[in-house]
Amino acid sequence: MKKETVILLLVSIVLVSIISGCKPVSSDNSSNNASSDISVGPRFVAKIGDSVVFTGGKDIVEVCVNDTSCALIERCDNTSEGYVCKFFFGILLSDAAAKKQADIVATLDEVTTQGGNKILSKTLDLYVDNSLTESLQMSSNLNGTAMQRVGISGKGTGDSEESARVKATENMKYLQDIILSD
């Protein structure tokens, strides 16, 4: 079952204290390269369409973990299909990765979801070991602007609020671990 996750790349997110809760991503992995051929690339790759946006290692400088100012379960809701808890954590992209992301996003169209949210026409797809693991929607407020501070959000579902909260925490830690693994 594919997880539904949303990425929000926001200019005005308060991530001033992100440094205290961030872990640097190791950049000494010699296999890291931003090749568009993910079959020979690093363990973690983010793409929009066929274009590589960023990879683990040199493109992602820091990942926020264990700091509730930049990595947290935001809220839980009771829906007709059970409970849904949403998570958020921040990452810091290198200058080059932020510029590349901006150049690619500038070519995308804005669409409005049924809920009234404005998103971009393509998803940010996350690959681990050459397998698609997540497809994330992107907020339309990117507008082709190079943004180093990126917020990733997603969700966890369950029969109870507690089980949804546990699943959201697991999903958040899973994505953080993927990014930190390079």
73 in a domain, yes or no? yes
Residue-range definition of the domain harbouring residue 154: 5-22+42-180
Residue 129 lies in a domain: yes
Which H or E run includes 12?
none
Residue 120 lies in a domain: yes
State pLDDT tens for residues 50-98. Answer: 999 988 778 999 999 989 889 999 899 999 989 999 998 999 999 999 9
pLDDT over 60 (residue 10): no
- Write the DSSP assignment of 119-154 as a string of letters: EESSPEEEEETTEEEEEEEEBGGGTT---SEEEEEE
pLDDT digit string, tens, across residues 150-176:
888 788 999 999 999 999 999 999 888
pTM (predicted TM-score): 0.68
pLDDT at 18 over 60: no
**Average pLDDT over the chain, rounded to whole?**
77
Within a domain: 31: no
* pLDDT at 22 (0 to 100): 53
| 117, two tokens | 């949210």
Q: How far apart are CA 163 and CA 3, in angstroms?
A: 16
Spatial separation of the C-alpha atoms in residues 94 and 60, rounded to whole Å:
6
Residue 52 lies in a domain: yes
Is 32 contained in some domain?
A: no
Three-state SS for 57-114 is: CCCEEEEECCCCCCEEEEEEEEECCEEEEEEEEEEEECHHHHHHHHHHHCCCCEEECC
Residue 23 is predicted with a pLDDT of: 59
pLDDT of residue 141: 83
In three-state secondary structure terms, 27 is coil
Name the more confident of 40 and 147. Answer: 147
What was the pLDDT predicted at 2? Answer: 35
CA distance 160 to 43: 34
> Does residue 100 belong to any structural domain of this protein?
yes
Please count the structural domains in the chain. 1
Q: Quick check: is 28 in a domain?
A: no
How many other CB atoms are there within 10 angstroms of residue 1's CB atom? 4
